[in-house]
């Protein structure tokens, strides 16, 4: 028995089968129109996304079956961007399957750099195939493809608007004002000093004005922790001590490192702990940082009581809450 390897005979390529668009000019023109329509739909979808981003308020909601209450701004922005890419993809696939050349080609593989003759042949082949694909004579596809691609590029450019100096002074502001009542979260119930025992902790928010709605981005800046200690346990200067009331002290719940919620209170050590990066704040010393990456204490809210005996803010925060930002002045 021979040990020689038996080589398979090259079967060659099967006979090429022409598509309908290869032999019927009307079918080719129809396919060209279909591709162009898909590219135009892509451009219109991009226009929808830009319109939703600029003109549709993020406070508009409507009911959709299964989805429930849906934010119109987010829905149409997402649909516009999704359909923009979808129609470009469908148009390219339809163009490739019906109009671009589909002849079988055999190309010998070479390692590293090909000979100059092969490189020149490649360039010539690319030019020929580009011409055969219709880039030169199918001007309608070329124009609508350029429209779709150009329009889709506008979406990220429009989104760059958020990188500008839009916040202004808003990052330094909260909803706390002089005389604003502290209300429980959840519940929105006014809170009185006798509601808190020594060692107790409560999350509070500013009382809403009539007709106002509380938004998530407001809670992200307004959330405050109330903690009650024995007055003798505080190690505060006279000014900071005047910001407390009968052993009750209030701090922003927003960590000064990365903006996480400082939600863990160690009653024995009087420490507040951020669960994200373990920044630790000493409540008895005006939330001074004693461990972790945070660079600043938690802002303290000055509190007192009103004529009805409810806890209220003496004044707004005297510094911006949350993590550092470029425009921060303190």
CA–CA separation, 214 vs 189, rounded Å? 14
The pLDDT, as a whole number, for residue 312 is 92
Taking each helix axis from N to C end, the angle separating 72-98 and 25-55, rounded to the nearest 10 degrees, works out to: 160
pLDDT of 188 over the 90 cut: no
The mean pLDDT of 226-245, rounded to a whole number, is: 91
Alpha carbon 1 to its chain's center:
70
The answer, as to whether pTM is greater than 0.85, is no
Neighbouring C-alpha atoms within 13 Å toward the C-beta of 245: 20
The mean pLDDT of 109-119, rounded to a whole number, is: 75
| CATH C-level class of 170-313 | mainly beta
The listed range with the strongest mean pLDDT (104-113, 161-170, 281-290) is: 281-290
Alpha carbon 14 to its chain's center:
51
pLDDT of 268 over the 60 cut: yes
pLDDT of 52 over the 70 cut: yes
- More confident position, 161 or 13: 13
pLDDT band, residue 43 (cuts 50/70/90): very high
The pLDDT, as a whole number, for residue 162 is 64
The mean pLDDT of 264-282, rounded to a whole number, is: 91
pLDDT band, residue 33 (cuts 50/70/90): very high
- More confident position, 154 or 30: 30
The pLDDT, as a whole number, for residue 110 is 56
pLDDT of 98 over the 80 cut: yes
* Pairing assessment for the beta strands 264-266 and 271-273 based on DSSP bridges: antiparallel
The lowest-confidence range among 59-73, 162-176, 232-246, 248-262 is 162-176
Q: With residue 224 as reference, give the H or E element that holds it.
A: strand 224-228
The mean pLDDT of 134-152, rounded to a whole number, is: 78
pLDDT of 36 over the 90 cut: yes
Taking each helix axis from N to C end, the angle separating 139-159 and 72-98, rounded to the nearest 10 degrees, works out to: 150
pLDDT band, residue 158 (cuts 50/70/90): confident
- More confident position, 263 or 106: 263
pLDDT band, residue 93 (cuts 50/70/90): very high
pLDDT of 89 over the 80 cut: yes
- More confident position, 113 or 243: 243
Question: What are the beta bridge partners of residue 271?
Answer: 266, 282
The pLDDT, as a whole number, for residue 329 is 64
- The CA-CA-CA angle for residues 147, 149, 151, to 5°, reads 65
The pLDDT, as a whole number, for residue 135 is 63
Cβ proximity of 316 and 178 under 8 Å: yes
CA–CA separation, 125 vs 110, rounded Å? 17
pLDDT of 140 over the 90 cut: no
The candidate with the shortest Cα–Cα distance to 315, out of 259, 254, 234, 239, is: 239
The mean pLDDT of 59-76, rounded to a whole number, is: 86
- By percentage, how much of the chain surpasses pLDDT 90? 32
The pLDDT, as a whole number, for residue 168 is 65
The pLDDT, as a whole number, for residue 327 is 58
């Amino acid at each position: 028995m021979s040990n020689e390897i038996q080589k398979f005979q090259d079967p060659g390529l099967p006979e090429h089968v022409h598509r309908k668009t290869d032999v019927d000019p009307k079918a080719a023109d129809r396919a060209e129109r279909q591709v162009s329509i898909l590219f135009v739909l892509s451009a219109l979808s991009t226009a929808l996304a830009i319109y939703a981003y600029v003109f549709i308020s993020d406070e508009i909601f409507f009911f959709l079956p299964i989805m429930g209450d849906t934010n119109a701004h987010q829905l149409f922005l997402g649909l516009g961007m999704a359909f923009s890419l979808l129609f470009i993809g469908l148009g390219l696939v339809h163009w490739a399957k019906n109009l671009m050349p589909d002849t079988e080609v055999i190309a010998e593989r070479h390692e590293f750099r090909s000979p100059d003759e092969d490189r020149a042949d490649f360039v010539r082949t690319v030019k020929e195939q580009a011409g055969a694909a219709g880039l030169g004579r199918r001007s309608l596809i070329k124009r609508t493809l350029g429209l779709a691609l150009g329009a889709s590029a506008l979406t990220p450019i429009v989104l760059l608007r958020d990188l500008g100096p839009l916040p202004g002074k808003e990052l330094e502001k909260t909803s706390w004002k002089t005389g604003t009542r502290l209300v429980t979260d959840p519940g929105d119930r006014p809170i009185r000093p006798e509601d808190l025992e020594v060692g107790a902790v409560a999350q509070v928010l500013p009382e809403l004005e009539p007709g106002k709605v509380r938004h998530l981005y407001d809670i992200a800046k307004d959330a405050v922790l109330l903690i009650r200690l024995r007055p003798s346990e505080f190690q505060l200067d006279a000014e900071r001590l005047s910001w407390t009331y009968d052993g009750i002290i209030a701090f922003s719940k927003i960590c000064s490192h990365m903006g996480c919620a400082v939600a863990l209170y160690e009653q024995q050590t009087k420490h507040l702990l951020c669960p994200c990066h373990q920044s630790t704040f000493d409540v008895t010393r005006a939330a001074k940082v004693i461990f972790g990456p945070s660079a600043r204490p938690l802002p303290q809210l000055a509190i007192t009581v009103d004529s009805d005996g409810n806890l209220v803010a003496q004044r707004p925060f005297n510094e911006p809450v949350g993590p550092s930002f470029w425009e921060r002045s303190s």
